[in-house]
Amino acid sequence: MNTPLSRRTALQAAGATVLAAGLSGGLSATAAHADDAPAAPKLVTYPRPADMPTNTSFKVRVRTAPDGDWQALDIWRPQLEEINPTTGSGKVLNTSMVYFDFQGSVEIEVTYLKGGTTKARVRPDSLGITPELLGDTLRFTLDEPRDVVVQINDEIFDCLHVITNHIDPNPPAADDPDVIYFGPGTHTVTGNVLTVPSGKTVYLAGGAVLKAQVFFKNVEKAALTGHGMLNAGPGGILCEGSKNIRVEDVIIMNPNGYAGTFGMSENVHVKKARSFSSKGNGDGFDVFSSTGIVFDGCFMRNSDDCFAIYCHRWDYYGDTRDITIQNCTLWADVAHPVNVGTHGNTDAPETLENLVIKNIDVLDHREPQMNYQGCIALNPGDSNLIKNVRIEDVRIEDFRWGQVIYMKVMFNPKYNTSVGRGIEDVYVKNLSYTGTHANPSLFLGYDADHAIKNVTFENLVINGLVVADSMKKPSWYYTTDAIQWFYNEHVTNLKFLTTAEAEAAAAS
């Protein structure tokens, strides 16, 4: 149901007033517009509504670098899940998050209030951030907005997630007739579902918390944007039968299920969305039977797959194609960072094709069940065919439990009514793993008619070793023996090349 107009008018008026008051560092509401001199350092912080829970492990301050005034940040409390591999039960654990906007550079100061700090780490490691550690307080600098995790003493759950945005150069006016505006504070809507009409933008201002599902149903040119939050106990984003949809910057915390579902939709762009989850089946973003979906710059920490790409399930039918996941940071406390292919249509077989996974940092992966491992898993079932996959520039840090990559043409009776048709034409370039906890990666065709064909790795680096068919090894070894990976007899034309070999082959 839509928010009543009378209520919306009240929200707009209140939101505009509180937003102007809530901007930190003397910044006025109008100062966030693009007219400002781009070189001037700026910082915008947002208050946490009093009814939103906090966590008490950290104190966090931020200032414009090098010598701005310190601003204290409110601590938010996402919740996460850890699975007991013996009982299967899940334990919900609290963690910490702060967020703010800035322009220029900022210095962040984090104090671990529990004490006993012996080491600190700012992830992803690819950013190369080494914090200055002074007892239980550490400091580090960000030169541009990044989403990072601060870990003290290798704590997995009692850590700090730092979410940052560019300052919005042109936020909508609260009285814009094409905007459903929510200002700072906590908001609800009738029925806990906000249905978005075509042409409308739902805007969550910084400090806003909307306790509702945002629903795009058979609409076009609609959006959900802003630096606020969906505290989505009722659900996250649901997009069905819609075209030209935009989701940008929002945080989705503690959804009762998936953070976002995109079914039978087309041309959807999700940019810098963030998701935290702790419920069973707490996926991040799931795609069903859709075309032209782009996920760009997202930070995902989920209690199931961070991204899951499927064909038919429920009332969604049709192929899935032209899907891009890029510039993202992924942490899967349960299951896969990226999972592809489980669900499809045995009666009218479907295809997942033209999938790009590019410039990804995988921070963690923990999955006890062998059938659900793989930081990236291609698992066609239900007569699905997966083809034309490009995986490039993926950095996998040491994770707790699972595999680096997993390809299996499967028949899983729990979810499937038939075996997948196969996996074809996969190119993996510049994938690296550094760590000691990975199980052997598996490549398993089902039989000769349901096989894995034409998979090429270029510049695969495992703990500093470039893995290539030309590497020095006994003549009777498979290349995969050198890194304890395995492929069966239903995998054909599997290649491991150095970059020089790949370039020479392309030039010939």
In terms of residues, how long is the chain?
A: 508
The pLDDT assigned to 19 comes to: 38
The pLDDT assigned to 39 comes to: 61
Number of domains in the chain: 2
Angle 395-400-402 from CA coordinates, rounded to 5° = 75
The pLDDT assigned to 257 comes to: 87
Can you list the residues of the chain whose pLDDT is less than 70? 1-39, 232, 234
- In terms of Cα–Cα distance, which of 355, 362, 375 is closest to 438? 375
Instruction: For residue 505, give the 3-state DSSP assignment.
Output: helix
Count of C-beta atoms within a 10 Å radius of residue 83: 20
Please give the residue range of the domain that contains residue 107. 41-166
Domain boundary among 149, 166, 183: 166
Q: Which two tokens stand for residue 38?
A: 């781009």
User: Is residue 398 in a domain?
Assistant: yes
Q: Which two tokens stand for residue 348?
A: 């009218």
User: Is residue 203 in a domain?
Assistant: no
The pLDDT assigned to 109 comes to: 98
**Pair 343, 415: CB distance under 8 Å:** yes
Question: What are the CA-CA distances from residue 415 to residues 326, 371, 420, 442, 508 (Å)?
Answer: 28, 12, 12, 20, 45
| Dist. CA 29–CA 73, nearest whole Å | 19
Q: Where are the beta strands (DSSP E) in 47-119?
A: 58-64, 71-72, 79-83, 90-94, 96-103, 106-112
What is the side-by-side order of every strand in the sheet holding 237-240?
193-195, 213-217, 237-240, 260-263, 285-288, 307-310, 338-340, 376-378, 405-408, 442-444, 486-487
User: Is residue 67 in a domain?
Assistant: yes
Q: Which residues are bridge partners to 215 per DSSP? A: 195, 238
**Pair 23, 31: CB distance under 8 Å:** yes
- In terms of Cα–Cα distance, which of 63, 56, 165 is closest to 113? 56
User: Is residue 12 in a domain?
Assistant: no
User: Is residue 153 in a domain?
Assistant: yes
User: Is residue 301 in a domain?
Assistant: no
- In terms of Cα–Cα distance, which of 290, 307, 308, 295 is closest to 350? 290
The pLDDT assigned to 254 comes to: 85
CATH code of the domain in which 81 resides:
2.60.350.10
User: Is residue 306 in a domain?
Assistant: no
| Dist. CA 302–CA 352, nearest whole Å | 23
The pLDDT assigned to 40 comes to: 85
Residue with tokens 């209030």: 113
- In terms of Cα–Cα distance, which of 385, 465, 380 is closest to 431? 465
Domain boundary among 135, 166, 197: 166
Domain boundary among 166, 194, 229: 166
Q: Which two tokens stand for residue 132?
A: 């200055």
User: Is residue 26 in a domain?
Assistant: no
Per-residue 3-state assignment (H helix, E strand, C coil) for 367-409: CCCHHHCCCEEECCECCCEEEEEEEEEEEECCCCEEECEEEEC
